Amino acid sequence: MAVTLKEVAELAGVSRSAVSRTFTDGASVSARTREKVEKAAKALGYKPSLIARSLATNRTKLIGLVANNFQNPAFLDVFDLFTSELQKRGFRPLLVNLSGDTSPKKFVELLKQYSVDGVIVATSTLPTSFANAFQTAGIPVIHTFGKYQANANVHVVGIDNEFCGSMAARTFCERGYKKVALLGGPETATSTQDRAAGFVGTSGQLGLEVAKTCFAENYTYQSGRVAMGEVMEDRSVEAVFCGDDLICMGAMDAARAAGKNIPEDIGFLGFNDIAMAGWDAYALTTIRQPIRDIIMSSVELVVGMVENPARSPEIRLFPCSVVERGSLRPVSRS
């Protein structure tokens, strides 16, 4: 039989409300009472009920983690970091898989039924209106990897994807490439749209010709391999900027299967810097997105919003950097 709060109160010689306050964060209880209650609880092996505590405090300590990119192994690290950081702070993640369904009403109602204290929308493939729907429902929300907008209505933590697209163009220019291609992620993703805009715009300014632009169906190896077939229709392409490392790996293997040597015949630039990018089989030069910094900041914000739901929306953008490996030719010294 589970030890009850009443039994702890009787052994400690205090009221049941005193026991409840002892195990409620922020509740007022004297040091003497706390000592007596904790001693009695330890002797009896008492563990406070999280459900009972949530009823008393009107807080469930549940944070909804909404995502739809489960096919990409990079998100295994993302979920690992999110769950571990939330748990360190005494919160529990409730993972929600969108599975292609982008209607916010269904998921707002689902998370309201669980009485979550906050929501993290961890994807760039959804419009900002999705995150806004949680805010409208009165649920604190953070849009991680969301689209940067100067007048955002919700908290956004991520990167400036348009600037990263420009960074890719400058990386190619520094290495003397003249004709390049863009192999983006899903065309509907805001990150893809922004990276494409930055890449194409800056390429034009630098005199690079974007000879081919195409998009992978999703963030998978196979999608990258298939889409690379379209890129290779133009044999003059010297280098390819891919919107994701896994897509890039598929594209690289498609190029090799067609008899291309990397980087001698064609160069590749990825995005994210997942662990596999450093494997000898790929040695992928890529633009590193600081995933850990983004997640730590997102967790900090959502926990802060639980305490202060009226907190004004913040935009937190983190810088990216090029990780040099071996899939591009060296920087031109001329």
Separation CA 162–CA 266 (nearest Å): 24
Give the up-direction half-sphere exposure of residue 307: CA atoms within 13 A in the CB hemisphere: 9
Separation CA 328–CA 123 (nearest Å): 29
- Contact between 193 and 237 under an 8 Å Cβ cutoff? The reply is no
pLDDT of residue 231: 96
- Is 330 a member of any domain? no
- Is 333 a member of any domain? no
178 lies in the same domain as 280: yes
115 lies in the same domain as 206: no
pLDDT of residue 189: 86
Separation CA 313–CA 177 (nearest Å): 41
Of the three residues 57, 77, 96, the one that is the final residue of a domain is 57
Separation CA 20–CA 6 (nearest Å): 10
- Contact between 240 and 268 under an 8 Å Cβ cutoff? The reply is yes
- Is 244 a member of any domain? yes
Of the three residues 57, 77, 97, the one that is the final residue of a domain is 57
Q: Which residues contact 57 (CB under 8 A, 6 or more apart)?
A: 24, 25
44 lies in the same domain as 114: no
Return the percentage of the chain with pLDDT > 90, whole number: 49
128 lies in the same domain as 187: no
Token pair, residue 268, equals 């590749």
Residue 73's closest CA among 237, 265, 277? 277
Give the up-direction half-sphere exposure of residue 42: CA atoms within 13 A in the CB hemisphere: 6
Token pair, residue 104, equals 């916010």
DSSP 3-state percent helix, strand, coil across the chain (nearest 5): 45, 15, 40
136 lies in the same domain as 90: yes
Separation CA 87–CA 100 (nearest Å): 28
50 lies in the same domain as 80: no
Q: What are phi and psi of 259, to 5 degrees?
A: 90, 15
- Is 329 a member of any domain? no
106 lies in the same domain as 251: no
pLDDT of residue 98: 74
145 lies in the same domain as 66: yes
Of the three residues 57, 77, 94, the one that is the final residue of a domain is 57
Separation CA 60–CA 44 (nearest Å): 25
- Is 327 a member of any domain? no
Return the residue matching tokens 């002797």: 43
Residues 190-231 have pLDDT tens digits of 899 999 999 999 999 999 999 999 999 988 999 999 999 999
Separation CA 69–CA 73 (nearest Å): 9
**What pairing do the DSSP bridges indicate for beta strands 118-122 and 141-144?**
parallel
- Contact between 62 and 92 under an 8 Å Cβ cutoff? The reply is yes
Supply the CATH number for residue 90's domain. Answer: 3.40.50.2300
Supply the CATH number for residue 35's domain. Answer: 1.10.260.40
- Is 328 a member of any domain? no
Instruction: Give the residues of the chain that fall short of pLDDT 70.
Output: 1, 25-26, 48-59, 99-102, 125-128, 152, 333-334
What does pTM read for this prediction? 0.80
3-state secondary structure of 171: helix
pLDDT of residue 213: 96
The count of structural domains within the chain is 3
184 lies in the same domain as 67: no
Range of the domain at 221: 161-289
Residues 32-88 have pLDDT tens digits of 988 898 898 888 888 766 555 554 555 678 899 988 777 777 777 888 899 999 999
- Is 252 a member of any domain? yes
223 lies in the same domain as 74: no
Separation CA 155–CA 12 (nearest Å): 45
109 lies in the same domain as 153: yes
170 lies in the same domain as 279: yes
Token pair, residue 115, equals 């009485």
- Is 73 a member of any domain? yes
pLDDT of residue 1: 61
pLDDT of residue 163: 96
What residues pair up with 97 in beta bridges, in sequence order?
67
